[in-house]
Amino acid sequence: MTPSPAPHDSARPAATAPAPELLAPPELNPAAWARASARTLAKALGEFAYEEILEPAPADDGAPGRYALALDDGTSLAFTARRGAYGSWRVDPDTITHDGRPLTDPLALLVGARGLLGLDGATLGHLIRELSTTLAAEARLDHTALPAGRLADLSYAELEGHQTGHPWLVLNKGRIGFSAGDAARWAPEARRATRLPWIAVSDRIADYRGVDGLDTPDRLYARELDPGVRDAFRAELTARGLDPEAYLLLPVHPWQWDEILLPLYAPAVASGAIVPLPADGDLRLPQQSIRTFLNTSRPDRHTVKLPLSVLNTLVWRGLPTERTLAAPAVTAWVHGLRDADAFLREECGVILLGEVASVTVEHPLYDRLPEVPYQYKELLGAIWREPLRLPPGERARTLASLLHTDPAGRAFVAELVERSGLAPAVWLRRLFAALLPPLLHFLYRYGTVFSPHGENAIVVYDDRDVPVRLAIKDFVDDVNISAHPLPEHEAMPDDVRAVLLTEEPGFLTQFIHSGLFVGVFRYLAPLCEEQLDVAEADFWSLVRAEILRHQERFPELKERFELFDLLTPRIERLCLNRNRLHMDGYRDRSDRPHAAVHGTVPNPLA
């Protein structure tokens, strides 16, 4: 007789689970929150005024540099600001008042000026959430901030975790999709190195691409994985009755696996087309982009860029399939331009951190539906980027670090200038001589631009902290070429041509203007005036002089200087905050958004 089955566990009394303990993060304290709020409110007023979302008027009291806004209820918000290049505003956070009383709360600005800002209810609701999480991240940075002198001693990877993020976008740490616990674990300011798990994916749904020398997956894995780890991965597949030769390997972000991949690739996991594997042995540290990890255990190994379905700084931080596939080909083409050009290779010594290998994984439904939101077409893959290898005596820091100011108010750039022993204007001349010549040469000679914003542009220094050369990263997402035909593009491979974005010459220069001059120098110039006694007008004169020096060096490119004119009296005003507040809000799109254009601004280089 067959015995009766035992009662199901659900019929038994459940064991009492321990009560969860609720803990407030230590950075959520009055002092850190007040500092973060005041700084962010000043930034919001300045950037919204720059983009003419708000239009402050001179205050009635006639005080120099005093401006006022009438809020929705008729009350008055006032502040002191100085105007700068490109029509920018630099608001003093200690001077902001609401009907004469000090104001430090940027959330109060959103609510009190929602009509003035032109916000609909849905956008306002999401904005409050994204601004609140941005403030929480700022408070964490303030709570753990180091003085500039200590920051200057940190490594490239460590310094990334102390930076405050995009200087132009007010909502720069929204990370919609992350919980508070996720942010505490995975955000760069958490500064937590982690071991990344890997997965094996059947080559029926996965593709590999690599540059010469990494043209097969095995060549990549031999560099990236210890032999014991590779053996363990093979053993896991073999134990499941699967052929290891029919699978590609790639690391995966643990958050992405749990939140996105298990739900959306469940059929592939169930069939064995996707197999979870253990973590490798290397510690990796998330960088400012959140989805990019530097290997701190083995710095000679590649940086890895992984899709992360989190909405941050205007876009979902995934990896588009087509562009991920093309990344190694784009790298080979850009490297080829550099390697065949003695000026770039020898005189500039520019470092191009190539995206040398990639794995993409298709989704059986989303990839065949062009009308669905683009976030669902960037779910799974990996890009391996060359690590930054420098000779003894050189060190690197992202350009964005120069904008950092410590809790005592000391600018990071002031610390580096003091360490160099050079006069501030001389140090700045060296900075511009390191940054501009390779960027200008790619533009003028090859009709090609990078997006040299603070995170993509890396300054290399000598052992005295004097800038000596430039390193650039993020090619496949941020390289654009001239739509005007140039002979230098005739040999471009078809797969590169198909994926690179093109712009008319008049707009191609915007990548240098908006990425570097507006996106970085607009903030660096007033810092240098305040802390280095270099007048803002002198700062821009030094930038212009470097451009003219480069043009004198290559007189044969005179027609290109006119075609790609950086010295026009006015340029179009690109607006990043308008995208979130007005153009796109939080709606899903089938393609990635582009920066809004609103009017023009005077060019300080004219």
For 235-302, the DSSP string reads HHHHHTT--GGGEEEEE--HHHIIIIIHHHTHHHHHHTSEEEEEEEEEEEEE-TTSSEEEESS-TTSP
Structure tokens at 142: 């303030």
Residue 2 pLDDT exceeds 80? no
pLDDT tens for each residue of 149-202: 999 999 999 999 999 999 999 999 999 999 999 999 999 999 999 999 999 999
Residue 254 pLDDT exceeds 50? yes
The stretch 354-381 carries a mean pLDDT of: 96
Q: Are 453 and 440 in contact (CB under 8 A)?
A: no
pLDDT tens for each residue of 456-509: 999 999 999 999 999 999 987 789 999 999 999 999 998 899 888 899 998 999
pLDDT tens for each residue of 382-414: 999 999 999 999 999 999 999 999 999 999 999
pLDDT at residue 13, rounded to an integer: 56
pLDDT at residue 548, rounded to an integer: 98
pLDDT at residue 200, rounded to an integer: 98
Burial classification of residue 84, based on how many CB atoms lie within 10 Å of its CB (0-12 exposed, 13-18 middle, 19 or more buried): buried
pLDDT at residue 56, rounded to an integer: 97
pLDDT at residue 453, rounded to an integer: 93
Provide the pLDDT confidence category of residue 100 given band limits of 50, 70 and 90: very high
What's the whole-number average pLDDT of the chain? 94
pLDDT tens for each residue of 548-606: 999 999 999 999 999 999 999 999 999 999 999 999 889 999 998 888 999 999 999 99
Structure tokens at 65: 């540099």
Phi, psi (rounded to 5 degrees) for 384: -105, 125
Percent of the chain with pLDDT over 90: 90
Please name each of the domains of the chain with its CATH number: 30-160 (3.30.310.280), 194-309+318-385 (no CATH), 395-567 (1.10.510.40)
Residue 6 pLDDT exceeds 80? no
Q: What is the DSSP letter of 521?
A: I
pLDDT at residue 61, rounded to an integer: 86
pLDDT at residue 594, rounded to an integer: 86
Provide the pLDDT confidence category of residue 14 given band limits of 50, 70 and 90: low
Structure tokens at 490: 């005739």
Provide the pLDDT confidence category of residue 20 given band limits of 50, 70 and 90: confident
Residue 107 pLDDT exceeds 60? yes
Give the predicted TM-score (pTM) of the model: 0.94
The stretch 124-150 carries a mean pLDDT of: 96
pLDDT at residue 353, rounded to an integer: 97
Query: By C-alpha distance, which of 359, 260, 245, 233 is closest to 302?
Result: 359
Residue 83 pLDDT exceeds 90? yes
Q: Are 221 and 250 in contact (CB under 8 A)?
A: no
pLDDT at residue 11, rounded to an integer: 53
pLDDT tens for each residue of 310-320: 999 989 999 99
The stretch 58-87 carries a mean pLDDT of: 95
Provide the pLDDT confidence category of residue 4 given band limits of 50, 70 and 90: very low
Ranking 133-137, 389-393, 499-503, 541-545 by mean pLDDT, the lowest is 499-503
Phi, psi (rounded to 5 degrees) for 379: -90, -35
Spell out a b/e string for 322-349, using b for 16 or more CB atoms within 10 Å of the CB, else e: ebbbbbbbbbbbbbebbeebebbeeebe
Ranking 77-81, 197-201, 285-289, 547-551 by mean pLDDT, the lowest is 285-289
